Every structure is written in structure tokens, then in C-alpha cells.
Structure 1
Amino acid sequence: MKRLCEIFKSTRKEEMYLYVDKAKGLEDVPEVLLKQFGEPQSVMTIILTPERKLARVDVAEVLEKIDSDGFFLQMPPTPEQLLQRDRASD
């Protein structure tokens, strides 16, 4: 499965991103989520395939959520994830 996705960053929450099918845009994202997300800012358009690696999320999960819900919401890292990231960069 291959999908052209657009990724938006949140203007309200650091490191929160929405992945959507480029052709459909934000039409399947619930209004309540968009209100909490803030003004979506497009940061990237990419082709997602099962073989592609993403930095913080599993591409299979992203593709599955876009298929079932019309979007995938990537939440900011937890404090534990931030600690692990900092340790890995040392």
C-alpha cells in the first residue's frame, strides 16, 4: 500500500502532528480535534509505504489509522521518551 500524505503541525501543542491523505485533506478530522489542534500548518507532503521509516511512529499504524479514521494524530513525546531521546544523543 502506498499513500500520498500531508503532515500538519499544531500551533497549540509542540510536537503534535496530523497525518492525512493529501487528496482528502482535513475533511475527515473531527471539528473538536481541529479546535484543540489550533490552525493546522502544513509541514510536509510524503509518500508513505510499509517499508518507510518514520522517526517516532510506526508507519503501518499511520496507514491503518488514515484508512479507518481518515487521519492519524501523533502526540508529543512523553517525559520518558524525551529522556530516552536525550540519552541516545549523548
Structure 2
Amino acid sequence: MLEILNYGGALAGVAGAVSLIIASIRTNAARIWKDEAEAHKARADRLIEELEEVKGKLSDLEDKTQVLISLLSAIDPQKLEGLQTGRH
């Protein structure tokens, strides 16, 4: 009977150690996933900033293009018409 209790105590110790290891793995995995999520959010925030910058530059180019079209049409309307229809 004493031998069974010794084995039972050893099994309880092993079960406790295994549960501690599993808890440690889960905690570490949660931390890793959290770190990954934060890294992805930071990258997304940077991409949003870059996209806003590109959109601003595109808007500036569109404005400058309109000015150039106005200048060109004032100087040579036929040349402008040729550019718009694909004839150079």
C-alpha cells in the first residue's frame, strides 16, 4: 500500500510539473501573439501614413497637370487637342 502512495505522489508531482510547463507555454504563446499583433498594427499605421502621403502627392500632380493643360490650351489649342486624341 505504501508503494502505491509513493507512486501516486510521484505521479502527482509529474502532473504538477506538466501543468506548470503547459501554463508556461500558453503564457509564452500569448505573449508572442500579442507582440506579433502589435508589430502588425505598427506596420499598418506606417502604411496608412505612407498612403496618405502618396495621395497628397497625387493630388498635387493632378493640380499641376490641370495648370499645364490650361497653359498649353492657351498657347496652342490644336496641340492640346492632338495630345488628347493621341495624335502628336
Task: Say which structure, 1 or 2, has more relative contact order (CA 8 Å, 6+ apart).
Answer: 1
Pair in the same fold by TM > 0.5: no
| TM-score range for the pair, normalised by the shorter chain length | under 0.3
**Which structure is higher in strand share?**
1
In the superposition, the TM-score normalised over structure 2's length comes to: 0.19
In the superposition, the TM-score normalised over structure 1's length comes to: 0.18
Larger gyration radius, structure 1 or structure 2: 2
